[in-house]
Amino acid sequence: MENVNQTNDLLAQQRPKELPGMLNVLSILTFIGCGISYLGACWGYIQNNNPDKQIEKLNEAREKMGDSGFGAKMIDSSIEMVQKSYENRYLLLISGLVFTTLCLIGAIQMRNLKKTGYYYYIVGELAPIVLMAGLFGATFFGAFSLLLAALISVIFVILYSTQLKYLK
C-alpha cells in the first residue's frame, strides 16, 4: 500500500501544472494585443513618413473653425503631435517593436508558469508610457493617449500580479 502512495506522489510531482484560467485568458488577450501593437507600430511608421497630407487637412479644418475656442486648441495639439510623431518616427517604430516583443515573450513565459515572464511583461508594458510621456505629454491628445494607455497597462499589470502565486 505504501508503494502505491509513493507512486501516486511521484506521478503528481511529474505531472505539469495546469495553466490557471485567468492566466490563460490574460495571455490570450496579450497575444491579441501584441498582434495589434505590431500592426499599429508598422502602420504608424507608414503614416508618419508623409505628415504633409495630415497637417494640410488639419490646417483646413483649423481655418474653418477660426482662431478661438476649444476646437482650435485641439487642432493645434493634433498638428503638434503629427510633427512630433514625424520627428521621432524611427524611435517610435523601434521602441514599439521592442516593447511589444518584450510583452509577447513575457506572456509566453508566464503561460509556461515562469516568473521571469512577469518582469519582461512589466518592462514591455510600462516603458512605452514613460517614452510617450517624454515625447507627447505636453499635447492635449498626447496626454489623453498617455492616460488611456496607462490605464489599460496598469489594469493588465494588476491582473497579472494576481497570478504571481502560480508562477515559479
Centroid of chain to Cα 25: 16
Q: Taking a C-beta distance cutoff of 8 angstroms, is the pair 4, 92 a contact?
A: no
C-alpha cell at 160: 497579472
Q: What is the pLDDT along the chain (168 residues), one digit of tens a residue?
A: 566 556 555 545 554 578 999 999 999 999 999 999 999 999 999 988 888 888 888 888 777 777 667 777 778 778 888 888 899 999 999 999 999 999 999 999 999 999 999 999 999 999 999 998 888 876 777 778 888 989 999 999 999 999 999 999
pTM of the model: 0.81
Q: How far apart are CA 63 and CA 78, in angstroms?
A: 14
Unique residue bearing C-alpha cell 502560480: 166
Q: How far apart are CA 50 and CA 55, in angstroms?
A: 10
Boundaries of every domain in the chain: 21-49+90-166
Q: How far apart are CA 140 and CA 45, in angstroms?
A: 21
